[in-house]
Amino acid sequence: MTTDSSIKKRGGVTSFAKSDPAISLASLFRPITRGRRPRGLTISAPWGADLILHFKLHTGLDTKDQSVFLTLVALAAIKGGQIDKMTTTPVGRQLWLDLNGDDGDAEYSGPAVAFSTSFYEILKEMGLMASATSYKSLLDSLDRLDGVSFKGETPRFIFPSQRLISYQVDKEKQRIAVVLNSRICAALTGQYVRIELHERAQLTSDAGKVLHAWLCAWCGPGSSKRIGVDKLVLKVWGMEAATSSTGRTRRKRIREALVAINSLPGWSASEDSGGVVHVQRASVLDAK
């Protein structure tokens, strides 16, 4: 386990995101691939004893979208305040209605978290330079995140749907009003997983970033767990490989990502001869 505390810093003030465990483990984000993004995806993710979250994605989400989402979650912990059905400001009310969508229930949904930010602040937190290209990329990611909805189901109940986020842009002031869903709002004050963004900044591969975020949610500080390398491939890419060649390539990328994660302070991640990955994390996090 590496203990060296010298680490590349992100551009802003956030170093971690307090995210919802179920959303973080749902494999919503995939490594960037060539060609058109998949559309009309449906992902069902079990959580706890009897809850299943059903996600609908208008357009597939990749590593860049995950970086934007985690940055928004991190900023929400610093800048956010709760909004709910009683919100009366015009922008807040519209964002609340947008969050709950056509299939949701704005009257009975739990509170969400809202905040105002800017293009520049988000890009700075992500360690990116402000430019016309980065602005467009950010807007595209926000659109894709806004195109994700989910609803919960238990053996007895089906709960109203919500979007992952809703947002509104003031183009003149280059400000963005953002609302994150009720599960993220609850995570900020209750049960959450800590996604280490300062560690994510050290990783160069898309597979490494997606795997690291999933491992952060799955294996908390002070924990040790085991999982098969093929299961990690499924967690990162979300589906079986179409060909044996693609499967081999993905396993290779997972193994390369594990080497990179193993080099991070406080992490031990290695594969044994039987294809089982052993993950261990230090109890005390170096969040510099």
Residue 142's pLDDT band (boundaries 50, 70, 90)? Answer: very high
Q: Dig out the tokens for 129 from the structure.
A: 């330079």
Q: 2 in a domain, yes or no?
A: no
Residues 71 and 172 in one domain: yes
Q: For residues 253-272, give the mean pLDDT.
A: 97
pLDDT of residue 104: 54
Pairing type for strands 175-180 and 165-170 reads antiparallel
pLDDT tens digits, 203-225: 999 999 999 999 999 999 999 99
**Nearest Cα residue to 98 out of 64, 55, 148, 53:** 148
Q: 209 in a domain, yes or no?
A: yes
pLDDT tens digits, 83-136: 998 999 999 999 999 999 765 566 667 899 999 999 999 999 999 999 999 999
pLDDT of residue 2: 45
Q: For residues 195-209, give the mean pLDDT.
A: 97
Sheet hosting strand 175-180, strand order edge to edge: 81-83, 112-118, 175-180, 165-170
Residue 4's pLDDT band (boundaries 50, 70, 90)? Answer: very low
Residues 121 and 85 in one domain: yes
Q: Per mean pLDDT, which range of 13-17, 199-203, 252-256, 258-262 is the poorest? A: 13-17
pLDDT tens digits, 176-191: 999 999 999 999 999 9
**Among 171, 194, 217, residue at a domain's last position:** 194
Residues 101 and 125 in one domain: yes
Residues 206 and 120 in one domain: no
- What's the rounded Cα separation, in Å, for the pair 132 and 147? 23
Q: For residues 16-45, give the mean pLDDT.
A: 94
Pairing type for strands 51-59 and 39-47 reads antiparallel
Residues 67 and 85 in one domain: yes
Pairing type for strands 61-62 and 175-180 reads unpaired
**Among 177, 194, 211, residue at a domain's last position:** 194
**Nearest Cα residue to 174 out of 135, 134, 128:** 135
Pairing type for strands 224-228 and 165-170 reads unpaired
Percent of the chain whose pLDDT exceeds 70: 92
Residues 140 and 226 in one domain: no
First to last CA, the chain: 18
Q: 95 in a domain, yes or no?
A: yes
Q: Dig out the tokens for 247 from the structure.
A: 């499967």
Q: 150 in a domain, yes or no?
A: yes
Q: 269 in a domain, yes or no?
A: yes
Tell the residue number behind the tokens 């842009």, with chain if given.
Answer: 169
Instruction: Decide if 63 contacts 12 (C-beta within 8 A).
Output: no
pLDDT of residue 6: 34
Beta-carbon count within 10 A of 61 CB: 24
Inform me whether the pLDDT recorded for 227 exceeds 80.
Answer: yes
pLDDT of residue 103: 59
Inform me whether the pLDDT recorded for 8 exceeds 90.
Answer: no
Residues 167 and 204 in one domain: no
Q: Dig out the tokens for 49 from the structure.
A: 């004893």
Residues 90 and 149 in one domain: yes
State the pTM of this model.
Answer: 0.93
**Nearest Cα residue to 111 out of 211, 39, 17, 180:** 180
**Domain span at 264:** 200-281
Inform me whether the pLDDT recorded for 284 exceeds 70.
Answer: no
Inform me whether the pLDDT recorded for 58 exceeds 50.
Answer: yes
Q: 73 in a domain, yes or no?
A: yes
Helix segments in the chain, DSSP class H: 21-24, 63-79, 90-100, 119-125, 132-146, 182-189, 197-200, 206-218, 229-237, 244-262
**Among 164, 194, 224, residue at a domain's last position:** 194
Q: 117 in a domain, yes or no?
A: yes
Residues 185 and 237 in one domain: no
pLDDT of residue 230: 97
Residues 21 and 114 in one domain: yes
Residue 288's pLDDT band (boundaries 50, 70, 90)? Answer: very low
**What total of structural domains would you count in the chain?**
2
Residues 263 and 181 in one domain: no
Residues 148 and 51 in one domain: yes
136-141 CB contacts, 8 Å cutoff, 24+ apart:
137/64, 138/68, 139/169, 141/64, 141/65, 141/68, 141/69
Inform me whether the pLDDT recorded for 197 exceeds 70.
Answer: yes
pLDDT of residue 59: 97
CATH number at residue 257: 1.10.10
